[in-house]
Amino acid sequence: MSRRVVVTGVGLVSPLGIGTEANWKALCAGRSGIGAITRFDASQFSARIAGEVQGFDPLQFIEKKDVKKMDVFIQLAIAASQFAVDDAKLEVTAENATRVGVFIASGIGGFSTIEREHRALLEGGPRRISPFFIPAAIINLAAGQVSIRFGAKGPNSATCTACSASAHAIGDALEVIRRGKADVMIAGGSESAITPMGVGGFAAMRALSTRNDEPSRASRPFDRDRDGFIMGEGSGVIVLEELEHARGRGAPIYAELVGYGMSADAFHITAPSEDGDGGMRVMASALEDAGVGIEAVDYINAHGTSTPYNDKLETLAIRRLFGEHAAKLAISSTKSMTGHLLGAAGGLEAGITALAVRHQVAPPTINYETPDPACDLDYVPNTARPMKITYALSNSFGFGGTNGALLFKRYEE
């Protein structure tokens, strides 16, 4: 029998706030974190809105001499990890260090650092490139810096699977604990790609919403008038722990992580498969992993990006898998409030799903105003819903057709 794994800490930094409590309150209130881009002059861009993390001061989490060695996505990962570790009341010591690991993902990594150092090269030649450029920008340094911060010497890795990246990081961390290679894993993702190249690249694909005059109403998953996703930034990190280890030290327990699924669409570089097959199979895989039937699931935190195809095809995938039970599910996309955190989305939403199970509340899908005949399920429109949640899925689908699903269960002694 594989070892049981529970969530003992949640750390969230997003456009809704800095810290888990601030995020949960905003989610339950149905507040949008989307606004006009302030990081650069976006006046020439077709999409001029995003979900920026406001008021983040890295000096509250990182020594001044070290800040310049880290891109913003690494700084956000350290902050979220600190919140999660503190929440779990976890202390990494010389005795347990090799049994504590870190898996933190990113889809893009240090875009702002890459753009800055490229400008330095063009303006001043190679001598102007910072010696910290590479370690400040590469994706695995979020996990590396977090492990250094806490002295965690166990398994250390960084997945890079687009918008499924941190769901995969959490699922892979689950498997590490199940196999007995670690007792505790700090797992999730981080992203900060609201830069000229980041926004410009997604805008060139026509993937972004251009509802620039109504930023707070722009992200509207499953609504008929959705017109694209809104880029967000932030970090979501959870502490996963083997059950007896957690109980032995009296750790708080949010939920049990009981299932993990992966799948590939094998269809298109950006679009989901037209029959919803990949999404259906990844959810089925997570349920099979847990040994749970479809009727047990109460809530799904959907990938729900607010793009025309994604929302339609995720709905189709849910209908194909759950059949008649689909109509009984509560489904919400918290991207309606946070925007799409790309490689950090799965980490943020896994944390939100664990909170939903803990508090027995389904966060809403805000801006749901006009039903779409192709999206005909219960999307918890506009208002948070207290409800019984025993099993909850968190879906993450990425470019290249890579999918991840995590199944959480309400913890019972």
Q: How far is CA 104 from the centre of its chain?
A: 11
Task: Give the confidence band of 2 by pLDDT, cuts at 50, 70, 90.
Answer: confident
CA distances from 90 to 76, 197, 359 (A): 19, 38, 22
Please provide the DSSP assignment of 263-282 as one string. Answer: EE--S-SSSPPTT-HHHHHH
Please name the residue that has the structure tokens 């913890």. 411
Q: Which residues are catalytic?
A: 163, 303, 340
| Alpha-carbon span 169 to 158, nearest angstrom | 7
Q: How far is CA 76 from the centre of its chain?
A: 13
End-to-end CA distance of the chain: 18
| Alpha-carbon span 306 to 340, nearest angstrom | 9
Please provide the DSSP assignment of 43-98 as one string. Answer: TTSS--EEBPPTT--GGGTS-HHHHTTS-HHHHHHHHHHHHHHHHHT----TTTGG
CA distances from 30 to 16, 17, 117 (A): 10, 13, 39
Please name the residue that has the structure tokens 């909170």. 355
* The two structure tokens encoding residue 173: 């961390």
Q: What is the pLDDT of residue 412?
A: 87
Q: What is the pLDDT of residue 401?
A: 95
| Alpha-carbon span 403 to 272, nearest angstrom | 10
Mean pLDDT of all residues in 171-190: 98
CA distances from 25 to 31, 116, 355, 382 (A): 9, 35, 11, 15
Look up residue 227 and give its amino acid: D
* The two structure tokens encoding residue 206: 């026509």
Q: Is 368 exposed, middle or buried (0-12, 13-18, 19+ CB in 10 A)?
A: buried
Phi and psi at residue 382, to the nearest 5° = 70, -20
Residues in the chain: 413
How many CB atoms are closer than 10 A to CB 244? 12
Q: Report yes or no: 239 and 176 within 8 Å, Cβ to Cβ.
A: no
Q: Tell me: the pLDDT tens digits for 152-176?
A: 999 999 999 999 999 999 999 999 9
* The two structure tokens encoding residue 231: 């880029």
Q: Tell me: the pLDDT tens digits for 82-97?
A: 999 999 999 999 999 9
Q: Return the percentage of the chain with pLDDT > 70, whole number.
A: 100
Map out the domains of the chain with their CATH numbers: 5-248 (3.40.47.10), 261-409 (3.40.47.10)
| Alpha-carbon span 239 to 85, nearest angstrom | 7
Q: Tell me: the pLDDT tens digits for 212-255?
A: 999 999 999 999 999 999 999 999 999 999 999 999 999 999 99
2 DSSP assignment = P
| Average per-residue pLDDT for the chain | 97
Helix (H, G, I), strand (E, B) or coil at 131: coil
Q: Tell me: the pLDDT tens digits for 25-34?
A: 999 999 999 9
Beta carbons within 8 Å of 373's beta carbon, 6+ residues apart: none
Q: Is the pTM of this model over 0.95?
A: yes
Q: Report yes or no: 297 and 315 within 8 Å, Cβ to Cβ.
A: no
Q: Tell whether the model's pLDDT for residue 1 goes beyond 70.
A: no
Mean pLDDT of all residues in 400-406: 97
* The two structure tokens encoding residue 278: 């990949």
Q: Tell whether the model's pLDDT for residue 321 goes beyond 70.
A: yes
CA distances from 252 to 8, 258, 347, 366 (A): 5, 17, 19, 30
408 DSSP assignment = E
